[in-house]
Structure 1
Amino acid sequence: MGSMTVQSNPAAEVVQLCSELIRIDTSNYGPEGSKGERPAAEYYAEKLAEVGIESQLFEAAPGRTTLVAHWQPEGCDDSVPPLLVHGHLDVVPAQASDWQVDPFAGEVTDGCVWGRGAVDMKDFDAMVLSVVRDRARTGRAPRRPIRLIMTADEEAGSRVGAHWLVDNHPELVADCPEAIGEVGGFSLTVRDDLRLYLVQVAEKGLAWLNLIADGTAGHGSMRNSDNAVTALAGAVARIGAYDWPHRIHPAQQAFLDAVENALGVEINADSVEESLARLGTVARMVGATMSNTANPTMLAAGYKVNVIPGQAVAAVDGRFIPGYEQEFFDTISELLGGQVRHEIIARQDAVETEFSGALVAAMQSCLAAEDPHAQAVPYLMSGGTDGKAWQKLGVRCFGFAPLQLPADLDFVAMFHGVDERVPTASLEFGARVLDRFFDQA
């Protein structure tokens, strides 16, 4: 009798794996309130162990667990440095009463997997796991070694996740020249015969600030020309109302050019959100990356209505375009005025790389093989990812978690949103693309 050939199906498990990962509540409330990622990391390690892949678990704090696995099976080209494939295991919290379904039940209904983490980012975690398990079972090695890292704490700044790993175990990352992870690879339907797949090649830097006004405390019935609340309120109003000048990053320009060509319209930088309105809420995301931004988010002052406090504090969420960090801080200093100072709560570098090279060519090729209407385009993201940590070691970071999405799905609203969900067909598509990608990357 001849030997049996094991049939490959990289998408076979992806829906079930995504659902099971969602059922593991890894809500991250910040430093003091996280549920912890350990149960999800142990689940992931067990699923890898079933197909002969060993994992290491690292903890920066009890329960804050990051998984690292070296997948270098016989048949891959050991002369090529590893590709870092990274996801995060934590999710933002969800208020169950706001949802149509239990956000941690992993329910599969109406053609979607529902639950917190369905798009951010247990979908990608599941796609990678499904592909790796299938390839390990069927003896299909990737072209090059793969470094799998599933981190803790991405949703609260990666302090006890990716940044901790880079600071304490840089050797686990430093040999990887390139990486793929969130947020990119998803489709944007612009015509019946064209879907743009947005590959993230850059993300804005982060500057969270406390604004502090010091004044003279006194009785609320007295005149006071040195009122900290008044000084702070003025600074907050100036920052909140400031119209930041456009600063178009090359990745942003390439994305805008592709949309202009697809839609046959000229996009006005002064009204980009209106110009792109037909693309849905992605227009809001694009609008946020046309300039630096600074949004006042918190205020604190005083303890009694008839007491003028000696100090008032506000918080600002600042984001800067790659290359424009100094301009951001110079502008904030001008807007503060003489009586208000700022302190940096958190600061993270902007991330950027070029949309070029063999890895990008592989992305386009693998997308086109599964979707003949696919065109990969670069874009700049307004938020942040673990790429901010990996870049410190010189890793070129791409957002490439491929999903072919229905044209009417408001995908941007799914991130941290109520009724977060991902189509099962999109998960299966992504698994097939990643399977091809591991042959070419």
Structure 2
Amino acid sequence: MGYLPDAETVDICRDLIRMDTSNFGDDSGPGERAAAEYVAASLAEAGIESQIYESEPGRATLVARWGNQDSSRPGLVIHGHLDVVPAEAADWSVDPFAAEIVDGYLYGRGAVDMKDFDAMLLSVVRARQRAGAIPDRPILLVFTADEEAGGRKGAHWLVAHHPEWFEGCTEAIGEVGGFSTEVGGQRLYLVESGEKGIAWMRLTASGTAGHGSMRNDDNPVAHLARGLAALGDHVWPEEPGPSMRLLLDKVRELTGAVGSPAELLGHFGPAVRMIGAGLRNTTNPTMLQAGYKHNVVPGEAVAFVDGRYLPGHAETFMPAVQEIVGDKVSVDSHTFDRALEYAFEGDLVDAMSVSLHRHDPEAHIAPFLMSGGTDAKAFDKLGITSYGFTPLRLPADLDFTALFHGVDERVPLDALEFGSRVFDTFLDLA
């Protein structure tokens, strides 16, 4: 090979974590400009030109062409986002933006979501560029703003305003997939082949305002509470799609177990929180707003609900929520985005599988439907098929899925380096 694709990965990841790119969803954060300029300088040092766009001041997205642009093969988009969710420093055991290394782990906001992949990608691209090992395929590198708030000022903006960058691209690789977990005592790598749709909803109950000391049978807070309780008690049916059915088959193969889909996914331990969400629609109230004084019944109460729906449920999901909460509560869309699911087959899937097996011969591989959303939703508008592939070989006892947006977010150093080597091999095969 003649070069070390993982040589800079840890250092680059530390540099990126130290740049606070917190996205509060209300434009109060620092934005992504500093991180985008860091990526641009890193690429320029290796001889790769890039372009930075701002959808709004400071909200920066970077794009760069790489690979063999004269190839007749279709282009591959490789994307990562530069923003992170906020972190409450008082809750952490270390400074979330200091990028400290403790007991073989790199700690920091973004270590998992997703400055780890940004660092892997930069390390591999720089090493290959310097060695002249350019992939024999057009590659579009994309580092986006605003993914943590739905990508409206990042990937969606880029697709809407500069679709010319994506001409000829048919496939994409991004975050939340390729990490290992243990099932039946064997290592299983999960590749994201789809993701649930986003339905962030505003629930509003109206009623009769009045004095808090008097009887009030039209109290909007009570109406809303009953609606939310009904939604919390509702059990959405299990409806596994193609990706999850393949995953369930793999669990049966590795464990010899039988049972319902939920029982089978129980073999993932704590990771079932994320993986099990791919079996059914979900609804979680996240914010409440009502009232302005202790002895005044307000005229309105509002709740915000994070809804995630399975592929094929775009038309039926919100009407179902309305039926559950009842006629005293109105359900309105706040943010709505598509669900995705792609066939787990073809040359790109083969390249991911072979690259993992080459560096971990004992690897088992299966797809899954991701509970959250990524920038793949924006690229799907252009007909681009996307998979989540951030390869990480993880300790069996690490509750990895709890680290997404979690306290003390961290990634093993050897997993970062492993991922860089796997991704380097993937680029030879993709």
1:94–1:222 CA distance, 2 compared to 1 (3 A): closer
Alignment of 1:18-167 (within 5 A): 18-73=13-68, 78-167=71-160
Are 2:325 and 1:336 aligned? Answer: yes
Take 1:327 and 1:410, find their aligned partners in 2: how far apart are those partners? Answer: 34
Amino acid at match of 2:362: H
Deviation at 1:172, TM superposition (A): 1.6
Partner of 1:398 in structure 2? 387
Instruction: Look up the SS of the partner of 1:91 in the other structure.
Output: coil
Take 2:108 and 2:297, find their aligned partners in 1: how far apart are those partners? Answer: 47
Alignment of 1:163-312 (within 5 A): 163-192=156-185, 194-269=186-261, 271-272=262-263, 275-312=264-301
Amino acid at match of 2:175: E
Take 2:214 and 2:396, find their aligned partners in 1: how far apart are those partners? Answer: 61
Amino acid at match of 2:141: L
Deviation at 1:226, TM superposition (A): 2.8
Deviation at 1:387, TM superposition (A): 0.8
Amino acid at match of 1:378: P
Say if 2:318 and 2:331, in contact at 8 Å, map to a contact too: no
Amino acid at match of 2:422: V
Partner of 2:365 in structure 1? 376
Take 2:52 and 2:234, find their aligned partners in 1: how far apart are those partners? Answer: 46
Deviation at 1:280, TM superposition (A): 2.6
Point out where structure 1 has 5 or more consecutive residues left out of the alignment.
Answer: 1-5
Deviation at 1:230, TM superposition (A): 2.5
Partner of 1:13 in structure 2? 8
1:250–1:97 CA distance, 2 compared to 1 (3 A): same
Say if 1:363 and 1:376, in contact at 8 Å, map to a contact too: no
1:291–1:222 CA distance, 2 compared to 1 (3 A): same
Structure 1 residue aligned with 2:351, among 340, 355, 362? Answer: 362
**Runs of 4 or more off by more than 6 Å in structure 1?**
none
Take 1:251 and 1:278, find their aligned partners in 2: how far apart are those partners? Answer: 17
If the length of structure 2 is used for normalisation, what is the TM-score? 0.96
Alignment of 1:412-431 (within 5 A): 412-431=401-420
Query: Once superposed, what is the RMSD of the aligned Cα atoms?
Result: 1.6
Deviation at 1:84, TM superposition (A): 0.2
Deviation at 1:33, TM superposition (A): 1.6
If the length of structure 1 is used for normalisation, what is the TM-score? 0.94
Identify the range of structure 1 (36-45 vs 173-182) with the bigger mean alpha-carbon deviation: 173-182
Take 2:219 and 2:93, find their aligned partners in 1: how far apart are those partners? Answer: 48
Partner of 1:408 in structure 2? 397
Deviation at 1:335, TM superposition (A): 1.6
Say if 2:67 and 2:136, in contact at 8 Å, map to a contact too: no
Identify the range of structure 1 (386-395 vs 305-314) with the bigger mean alpha-carbon deviation: 305-314
Partner of 1:3 in structure 2? none
User: What are the Cα deviations for residues 97-127 of structure 1, in whole angstroms up to 9, with x where unaligned?
Assistant: 2222222122233222221111111111011
Amino acid at match of 1:68: V
Say if 1:174 and 1:394, in contact at 8 Å, map to a contact too: no
Are 2:429 and 1:436 aligned? Answer: no
Instruction: Look up the SS of the partner of 2:316 in the other structure.
Output: helix
Give aligned-pair identity as a percent: 57
Instruction: Look up the SS of the partner of 1:297 in the other structure.
Output: strand
Partner of 2:340 in structure 1? 351
Amino acid at match of 2:419: G
Deviation at 1:279, TM superposition (A): 2.5
Point out where structure 2 has 5 or more consecutive residues left out of the alignment.
Answer: none
